[in-house]
Structure 1
């Protein structure tokens, strides 16, 4: 029976085409899906490196590249490019099945042949070789193609291996890079074998069956059942995450059941949110499924999840079972239902005045100290009596306080909380605490499952609310988090709030958003303490990598703010002139003042601008680094990254007042810059006026 497979790269190129060209592509490949391709002219190129590659005419200027085996009725749509580029690709690339993993791979065979003479010449003068201690059998066991082995044997330096990064299949390059970095073959296999689909047996691989290999490579290829599915895929070409999942992501998202709470961790861009969305739809699609909560930290992130969920499923029954609410909205709705009226939230100015008044009556302790003591110790642990506070651990708080001082602190905090109670006003965290108590008293929680995104940013009171909102049992909580993206001052041990994840924690390591060059630069921003995760274990980014390569980030200095904004305008215009859509460009600043100034400067230069939340507007999105959380762009400009602004002085506790809080605050500021920079897919531009932020020194900027 004829089978049609679409490559992820095909969607990427298709998405860049103008609408008339897309329609021509639709007409051409629609014949494959309808199995009427006999009328198409599949052109075979002379001297092509792969005899199975063909091209098809789209229009006068574009051609499609198709993999068509000599026997069988299977077709793989590889890419669509301008005429000359399509022919060049078709003539130079070769597709094979990885003999160890069974996945479908592509390599630039022509590029490898071009570079071989230089490597051979360098090898003549070298007494040692990069993989001289690893035998051929071991390399083949790790997935290195037998045809590539002679070239691998010529490598003498890391620089020579780096030159192959964009020529070799990703899995083979990763295996070689691991060995070159000092990993043992066993350690390398542990990494590369994550490409194996669940239950796959590498020894049964048929290296001639390309269609079966494509099915075993779900992060790069998808088997299309017919015209309707093809139309659905092409309708949203930018949203490839709906269709293409890495085997590790698919295994986690579609596991039949977890015995209890499960957690997924991983660096920025590793697909944690995508995995969570697929998990939500999977649970909602099961027979007899109950209510499902899909939640996150902020309203903007919840809105983004709603949009993505709509793209992922159009089944009304599935969609109706899922409530998308940020955790503050859940707390607000719960308390409102219990009170029979809308709870009032205290404004920041009024709250600040209350803490200042309390501090005035408590010499030796500032308003900031008292507020943090309340949030991070008393409210975090759900303490209700002075005796409980006297015996409480003060995790993350290094300023020592005696028993008599604790009683004074308790009284000062009580002044604030009593006043709020008298006014019937709440902070968001106090509202979460109240909502948790309300749900805990109910006979049945409102949800059967909860999917929690950005779990690292939630406060213990919010975790108690989520625990009370979901019935304990199989698949009750599915949590995704990254301590390296913790941009709010919340440090939580899940065990302390009744969420046990032992034995049900999974880690993703492959970044599918950002190029390796941007990723490596951004990771260096995090130099400092490795954060403690929700499982009480120190988290690190070992193995964190990207299979994509591109340009290195640009760091640019300016004498003053006007010059910096002028340089920003120049950079944004360069991106626009290169064909980048305005909405695919993001500009991030540490403060709202800097973001507004940049927005005004770009607008005055005739460049359309909007806020980060305005996702349906074709304009450059400009906002604070906090507002960029959960978004992604082709190009990002992080501006105002100077010593006086990053880290923000007001956000960092004095080192003299509390050394532990100071370290936490500094690491949080590093994480915030890291989050902003890793929103970029293709290009990252970082600028500052005056003296560069000390964080840039660690990144080499």
Structure 2
């Protein structure tokens, strides 16, 4: 047996050994900490060197109109810093200086050695969002803010990595110079002042004026209520800049009040409405870009007007190329085709065949006799079926018998409706016999496809523009695509600009926008003189705006701009009107207005063909609105009032107008005639309100 003393000595040795091990461990930890601290110090020293090197490159940009803010705080942060904030002709640019030993960009991903640096990209993207949020009251749109990781250790051509650009220090000036112009000199001053306040110097007083070489004016920052001054100044600067540029630049103009709306959060379907010229479509465009920058799923922008989605697609690319790639711009009928294709369904759409089927139904039934006392024209009853019965997806006579026919002025008794339903049933039988479908069938089947296969449609949001031109079947299809949830469905439109028969209410569609509706009341597009000319046409007409309540034609709108009175030209013959149109176009162009800022708008497609010949014979470059895609070209735009919906032009010329109302058609009743005249007045109103700066009205004496 071992002695007790030996046991004590062994215990003491173990204790000392444990202590020795602990101390060695602490020493190792301290050594690691020292190494980490030394590495951190080395990194900061490298960062300092990198930032100083980049500062030497970007500071001289002040002579090119750029304001350079260095070493600033993140908005609302006490410690996080921004290396450089530049404000200049190309907008606001965030620069993050980098000095990495290894750098590689593979498949749109930044690598540092073998490690992905997604967090660095995401951090810079968050900073951009923070800056935009912090000065949203100035109206600065997110599309005007860019961010770049600038490498002083590598030569890198500007490469997009998600929402961020990766570029070498030697290439950064060329990249900045290549940015499309967004700000004038005055705008640079105002925006830089706002950003200087939101992102103060790291060690400075947030309210202290920024010293040279930064070009922020101390006087503006020292005055009381600087936020109000910033908003007023940038609003005016943005307006003046947008007015001076091509019309496509104007169509992306956003007022600060509208910018707040773009960034709103709604817990359900929302609606934006307001008179012509108040910027509804532009708000929808910026909203789409805003949402697309914050999601990996596509955003849908759609409209009944075929030209509008095409034009908006080009404008979105101007605002944010990266976001535009995640926005799907498509007309509602083309979208319905895609929905059926995605679910493996086919449809035999034949509108000419459908027209023949209706004529056969009209011939085979006694509708002409039974309905002739109301309106002898078969076309009126074709509209009734298309826009009221099938446009609502009705399948039971009882629903039609009790229906309030929104947008239709001709009253129908129960017996009349029964005769219409018989005509509809015969028409459906003819379609089935021929094995063809019409456009309403397309929309109804597309809605059913979405209901059956909802997982195939993954839009993060659906924005519906010119909603007043849709029928209920189309709207239900789009609402199904949006689904339920916050910020999923935005409805944009104005009932006073409805130019098609019939209509519907949101309650019929099962949609409520209570507490989520916004009315825009400031007309930024038209001058007061242009709007007054257009408003006279519809001032005595009432209309419904999807809520089922009649609204007066005369509407209050704030119009900040004044201009010239619209020009009225009276011609005795068509040749004289053609000559006057050519002369007005060439004179306006000779005064410095590009061809591309002029538009000739007419009522019907055959009018388009007539004036296309007039322009071609005069050697005036032009493009049919059906072919216009929103890109700036030096060609006069030519199209119908309906095709121009949602678009803006600096100068609009409208030849071929009547001096009085149209003639009543044979067999047309006073009620149906009044309905047709009212729609025509709304079409003319739409055409006139497309004009921003000037309006020419060419009349043929009746």
TM-score, normalised to structure 2, is: 0.63
Q: 1:242, CA displacement in angstroms? A: 7.9
**Residue 273 to residue 376, structure 1, CA distance change in 2 (3 Å):** same
**Residue 551 to residue 29, structure 1, CA distance change in 2 (3 Å):** farther
**Residue 614 to residue 279, structure 1, CA distance change in 2 (3 Å):** same
Q: 1:345, CA displacement in angstroms? A: 2.0
Residue 496 of structure 1 is matched in structure 2 by 508
What pairs with 1:411-560 in structure 2 (closer than 5 Å)? 411-444=422-455, 445-540=457-552, 542-560=555-573
Residues of 2 paired with 1:237 and 1:596: CA distance?
A: 26
Q: 1:507, CA displacement in angstroms? A: 1.0
Residues of 1 paired with 2:539 and 2:252: CA distance?
A: 35
Q: 1:32, CA displacement in angstroms? A: 3.0
Q: Contact between 2:601 and 2:653, CA under 8 Å: does it hold in 1?
A: yes
Residues of 2 paired with 1:548 and 1:344: CA distance?
A: 51
Residue 32 of structure 1 is matched in structure 2 by 65
Q: Contact between 1:355 and 1:416, CA under 8 Å: does it hold in 2?
A: yes
Q: Secondary structure at the match of 2:478?
A: helix
Q: Secondary structure at the match of 1:259?
A: coil
> Does 2:683 correspond to 1:672?
yes
TM-score, normalised to structure 1, is: 0.63
Residues of 2 paired with 1:264 and 1:666: CA distance?
A: 27
Residue 292 of structure 1 is matched in structure 2 by 299
Q: Contact between 1:614 and 1:621, CA under 8 Å: does it hold in 2?
A: no
Which deviations, in whole Å up to 9, do the C-alpha atoms of 1:519-542 show, x marking residues without a partner?
111111213222110122334553
**Residue 29 to residue 628, structure 1, CA distance change in 2 (3 Å):** farther
Residue 41 of structure 1 is matched in structure 2 by none
> Does 2:331 correspond to 1:326?
yes
Residue 681 of structure 1 is matched in structure 2 by 692
**Residue 532 to residue 392, structure 1, CA distance change in 2 (3 Å):** closer
Q: Contact between 2:659 and 2:700, CA under 8 Å: does it hold in 1?
A: no
Residues of 2 paired with 1:487 and 1:632: CA distance?
A: 18
Q: 1:258, CA displacement in angstroms? A: 0.3
Q: 1:456, CA displacement in angstroms? A: 1.0
Which of 599, 605, 614 is equivalent to 1:601? 614
Which of 370, 384, 393 is equivalent to 1:364? 370
**Residue 290 to residue 642, structure 1, CA distance change in 2 (3 Å):** same
Q: Contact between 1:451 and 1:477, CA under 8 Å: does it hold in 2?
A: yes
**Residue 29 to residue 687, structure 1, CA distance change in 2 (3 Å):** farther
Q: Contact between 1:214 and 1:221, CA under 8 Å: does it hold in 2?
A: no
Which deviations, in whole Å up to 9, do the C-alpha atoms of 1:43-89 show, x marking residues without a partner?
xxxxxxxxxxxxxxxxxxxxxxxxxxxxxxx9999xxxxxxxxxxxx
Residues of 1 paired with 2:416 and 2:690: CA distance?
A: 45
Residues of 2 paired with 1:446 and 1:418: CA distance?
A: 36
Q: 1:569, CA displacement in angstroms? A: 1.2
Q: 1:563, CA displacement in angstroms? A: 0.6
Which deviations, in whole Å up to 9, do the C-alpha atoms of 1:281-336 show, x marking residues without a partner?
222222x5533211111221110111111112122xx3343221111111111123
Q: 1:669, CA displacement in angstroms? A: 0.8
Moved more, 264-273 or 434-443: 434-443
Q: Contact between 1:458 and 1:490, CA under 8 Å: does it hold in 2?
A: no
Residues of 2 paired with 1:648 and 1:400: CA distance?
A: 21
Q: Contact between 1:596 and 1:623, CA under 8 Å: does it hold in 2?
A: no
Q: Secondary structure at the match of 1:493?
A: coil
Q: Contact between 1:217 and 1:247, CA under 8 Å: does it hold in 2?
A: no
Q: Secondary structure at the match of 2:370?
A: coil
Q: Contact between 1:595 and 1:622, CA under 8 Å: does it hold in 2?
A: yes
Which deviations, in whole Å up to 9, do the C-alpha atoms of 1:453-502 show, x marking residues without a partner?
11111111101101111111211211111112112224120111121111
> Does 2:276 correspond to 1:253?
no
CA RMSD between the two structures: 3.5
Q: Contact between 2:405 and 2:502, CA under 8 Å: does it hold in 1?
A: no
- Of structures 1 and 2, the one with the larger relative CO (CA 8 A, separation 6+) is 2
Residues of 1 paired with 2:667 and 2:681: CA distance?
A: 15
Residues of 2 paired with 1:271 and 1:653: CA distance?
A: 41
Residues of 2 paired with 1:434 and 1:483: CA distance?
A: 27
Q: 1:29, CA displacement in angstroms? A: 7.2
Q: Secondary structure at the match of 1:269?
A: coil
**Residue 369 to residue 685, structure 1, CA distance change in 2 (3 Å):** closer
**Residue 217 to residue 425, structure 1, CA distance change in 2 (3 Å):** farther
Q: Give unmatched runs, 5+ long, in structure 1.
A: 1-26, 37-73, 78-101, 105-203, 224-229, 692-701
Which of 589, 612, 629 is equivalent to 2:645? 629
Q: Contact between 1:345 and 1:426, CA under 8 Å: does it hold in 2?
A: yes
Which deviations, in whole Å up to 9, do the C-alpha atoms of 1:635-656 show, x marking residues without a partner?
1111111147x64867x99334
Moved more, 426-435 or 551-560: 426-435
Residues of 1 paired with 2:464 and 2:586: CA distance?
A: 38
Q: 1:633, CA displacement in angstroms? A: 1.8
Q: Contact between 1:648 and 1:669, CA under 8 Å: does it hold in 2?
A: no
Q: Contact between 1:214 and 1:222, CA under 8 Å: does it hold in 2?
A: no
**Residue 394 to residue 549, structure 1, CA distance change in 2 (3 Å):** closer
Residues of 1 paired with 2:246 and 2:224: CA distance?
A: 30
What pairs with 1:233-312 in structure 2 (closer than 5 Å)? 239-240=248-249, 244-255=253-264, 257-286=265-294, 288=295, 290-312=297-319
What pairs with 1:205-244 in structure 2 (closer than 5 Å)? 207=223, 213-215=229-231, 218-221=234-237, 239-240=248-249, 244=253
Q: Secondary structure at the match of 1:478?
A: strand
Residue 562 of structure 1 is matched in structure 2 by 575
Q: Secondary structure at the match of 2:548?
A: coil
Residue 153 of structure 2 is matched in structure 1 by none
Q: Secondary structure at the match of 2:576?
A: helix
Q: Contact between 1:677 and 1:684, CA under 8 Å: does it hold in 2?
A: yes
> Does 2:627 correspond to 1:620?
no
**Residue 516 to residue 391, structure 1, CA distance change in 2 (3 Å):** closer
Q: Secondary structure at the match of 1:410?
A: helix
What is the number of equivalent residue pairs in this alignment? Answer: 487
**Residue 34 to residue 629, structure 1, CA distance change in 2 (3 Å):** same
Residue 343 of structure 2 is matched in structure 1 by 338
Q: Give unmatched runs, 5+ long, in structure 2.
A: 1-59, 70-85, 90-136, 140-219, 372-376
What pairs with 1:636-655 in structure 2 (closer than 5 Å)? 636-643=652-659, 647=662, 654-655=668-669
Q: 1:212, CA displacement in angstroms? A: 6.9
Q: Secondary structure at the match of 2:525?
A: coil
Which deviations, in whole Å up to 9, do the C-alpha atoms of 1:161-215 show, x marking residues without a partner?
xxxxxxxxxxxxxxxxxxxxxxxxxxxxxxxxxxxxxxxxxxx997457687225
Residues of 2 paired with 1:621 and 1:242: CA distance?
A: 15
**Residue 281 to residue 376, structure 1, CA distance change in 2 (3 Å):** same
